[in-house]
Structure 1
Amino acid sequence: MEEFYNFITEQYFLPFYIIVWLVAVVRYRTFFDTPLKYYPIYLMYTFLTELLGYLVTHTDQFQFFSEKKYDWHNVIIFNIYSVIAFSFFFYIYWKVLQSKKHKRWVAYGGLISLLSYLISLFFQDPLHMNLYYADLIASMVLLFDIGLYIKEKRSEEGTYPIKNNLMFWTTLGLSVFHAIFPYLFLIAYEAPLIWAKLQLREVLKVLIIFMYGTFMIGALLGRRSSFR
């Protein structure tokens, strides 16, 4: 019972993932035929990744490495997650954008991001270290894609409330999170004393809650007619 309590208090955002996933499943009819139709799969994948990461760190049954000094390392699953998650959102904005030029830019940005992960493999060990430079590049590319989306939205004459647009809430969460999170990882690896002193891990958790909170609000308020 004590172990479960510690799990909930230390990883309080994990149950939140399930709540967001449940809301997305219940409201699936409002976006089932949109580019976000794979949203629930992405949300469940996120939850399972975080859960596996916790189990690797805190239990003996899920360890990847036999050496004692590495038995708690779980970073490989998060490096894989980063590539998949960024690819998912690159795909979303590629589908949502209407300008062919903007679509090409999204595709080029996606290729640059994937290339940055490949290049990082020559300088960083993905088994024991986050590929944080590649994460930074991918975040900048995603923010660029978001800028293209906002530019197109501002040029439209919409008749539906923006609060009912799931893409608006998704974009809001992604833009705030990715404007900050890669720099937190840079500090964590390049200046670990500052990371610990400022308790930036808690800042990261707050950013996660904010991002997935906007995802949940979007699913709750979203209307199929307002999606774009």
Structure 2
Amino acid sequence: MIEEFIETLNTDFIILPFYFIVWLASVIWYRTYYDTVLKYYPIYLMYTLLTELLGYLVKFTDSFQLVSDDRYHWYNVIIYNIYSVVTYSYFFYIYWKILNDKKHKKWVLYGASVSMGSFLISLFFQNPHYSHLYIAELISALILLSAIALYLKEKFQWNSFKSLKYNLMFWTSVGLGIFYAYFPFTLLFLYWAPELYTKFHLHDWLIGLIFVLYGTFLVGVIIHRRRNFQ
């Protein structure tokens, strides 16, 4: 199985070592944010790494299969559908906790309910074992972007960029904002216009943005200062 894993290694998964580096950094600097809203950050990063690893094993080895139909033995979509629900829930919770304005908190709470509801409704129209939940992803990404915008609005009202550049949550938000402004639309192109998805190399752009996302995570973990977190 190990030989098969090495032989089938492709550019999609050169990101795996980078995931590990970011997770390792989050553990090394954990003492500086262990009692903040990001206290579960290392667990989330490890979950991401394990999700990508399992997704790779299902797609490129015969030892793992998540669907009953052997024709689709390489389908790993269910892993990423579950990951999406966990990811959106996690970051909605973070922004709900960290926002100061009670009205903004309510908006995030309502948005999170709409997001989870959209995933639930999607189950009646799409099989999560065989299809990405595209519409739910798009709705949830737009709501997450709104939560990020509310957070940045509050931060810039009371802080200068000079202080924010040492804020771990700021860097996390920048990375999430860049990535989720792009990611859901790639799924829509993949579903409704696969020829354009291929023609414009949107998958390669997606891999590049994953590096940007986790690059900002890494920068934030390394340069942040505890007193600048909030």
Q: CA deviation at 1:67?
A: 2.5
Residue 182 of structure 2 aligns to a residue in which SS? helix
Q: Residues of 2 paired with 1:157 and 1:24: CA distance?
A: 25
Report the count of equivalent residues: 228
Aligned equivalent of 2:69: 67
Match of 1:130 among 97, 118, 132: 132
**Contact 2:67/2:129 (8 A) holds in 1:** no
Match of 1:153 among 139, 152, 155: 155
Q: Residues of 1 paired with 2:66 and 2:85: CA distance?
A: 20
TM-score (norm 2): 0.95
Q: CA deviation at 1:5?
A: 6.0
Q: Residues of 1 paired with 2:126 and 2:19: CA distance?
A: 30
**Contact 1:160/1:226 (8 A) holds in 2:** no
Structure 1 letter corresponding to 2:33: F
Q: CA deviation at 1:68?
A: 2.7
TM-score (norm 1): 0.95
What do the CA deviations read for 1:41-99 (whole angstroms, capped 9, x no partner)? 00000010011001001111111124332101110010000000000000111111011
Q: CA deviation at 1:195?
A: 1.1
Aligned equivalent of 1:12: 14
Aligned equivalent of 1:177: 179
Where in structure 2 are the equivalents of 1:31-180 lying within 5 Å?
Answer: 31-157=33-159, 161-180=163-182
What do the CA deviations read for 1:133-183 (whole angstroms, capped 9, x no partner)? 101000000011011111111221469722110011001000000111100
Structure 1: which 5+ residue stretches go unaligned? Answer: none
- Larger mean CA deviation between 66-75 and 117-126 belongs to 66-75
Match of 1:213 among 212, 215, 224: 215
Aligned residues with identical type, % of pairs: 54
Structure 2 letter corresponding to 1:214: T
Structure 1 letter corresponding to 2:55: G
Moved over 4 A (4+): 157-160
Cα gap change, 1:144/1:198 in structure 2, threshold over 3 Å: closer, same or farther? same
Q: Residues of 1 paired with 2:106 and 2:184: CA distance?
A: 25
**Contact 2:22/2:217 (8 A) holds in 1:** yes
Cα gap change, 1:50/1:157 in structure 2, threshold over 3 Å: closer, same or farther? closer
Q: Residues of 2 paired with 1:2 and 1:65: CA distance?
A: 21
Q: CA deviation at 1:2?
A: 8.1
Q: Residues of 1 paired with 2:137 and 2:161: CA distance?
A: 37
Residue 80 of structure 2 aligns to a residue in which SS? helix
**Contact 2:88/2:140 (8 A) holds in 1:** yes
**Contact 2:5/2:57 (8 A) holds in 1:** no
Q: Residues of 1 paired with 2:16 and 2:142: CA distance?
A: 26
Cα gap change, 1:66/1:39 in structure 2, threshold over 3 Å: closer, same or farther? same
Q: CA deviation at 1:124?
A: 1.2
